[in-house]
Amino acid sequence: MTDRVIVHVMVRGRVQGVGYRAWVEDQAILNGVEGWVRNRADRSVEAVFAGSADDVAVMVAACRHGPPAARVDGVTDTPATVDQLALRRPAEEFSVLPTV
């Protein structure tokens, strides 16, 4: 089994108003990944994923494509902290958070 990792992801492109956050939530649940996703005022989408290195890598790769209506221009991923993961709602494995 691979080690647990936490990754912060920023997604740019046409990623708001296309069901991107709901799609990320569905993909995270399917892949057994914890974390959260939210829109940002600059029209990007931000997420934190936690799980096995393999499962998180699958999520980051999926974000590079997104749902059918999305147009992803760029994805950056950097190591994240437990404090960033803790922004999700209590008792939820994965949360869709309000826009910041």
- Does residue 68 form part of some domain? yes
Asked whether residue 75 is assigned to any structural domain, the reply reads yes
Residue from 39, 43, 64, 88 carrying the catalytic annotation: 39
Task: Tell me if 65 is assigned to some domain.
Answer: yes
In a domain, 95, yes or no: no
Q: Identify the pLDDT of residue 3.
A: 85
Tell me whether residue 82 is exposed, middle or buried, using C-beta atoms within 10 angstroms of its C-beta: 0 to 12, 13 to 18, 19 or more.
exposed
Read off the CATH number of the domain in which 47 is found: 3.30.70.100
* 19 falls within a domain: yes
Structural domain of 18: 4-90
**Residues forming beta bridges with residue 36, ordered by sequence position:** 48, 95
Asked whether the CA dihedral 3, 89, 17, 77 is positive or negative, the reply is: negative
DSSP 41: T
Judge whether 34 lies within some domain. Answer: yes
**Catalytic residue of the set 12, 21, 40, 88:** 21
Which pLDDT value is given to residue 55? 97
Q: Identity (one letter) of the amino acid at 5?
A: V
For this structure, is 38 an active site residue?
Answer: no
The model's pTM: 0.95
The residue-averaged pLDDT of 54-72 equals 96
pLDDT over 90 for what percent of the chain? 97
Helices (H), 3-95: 20-31, 53-63, 82-85
Annotation marks residue 31 as catalytic: no
> What total of structural domains would you count in the chain?
1
Is 63 contained in some domain? Answer: yes
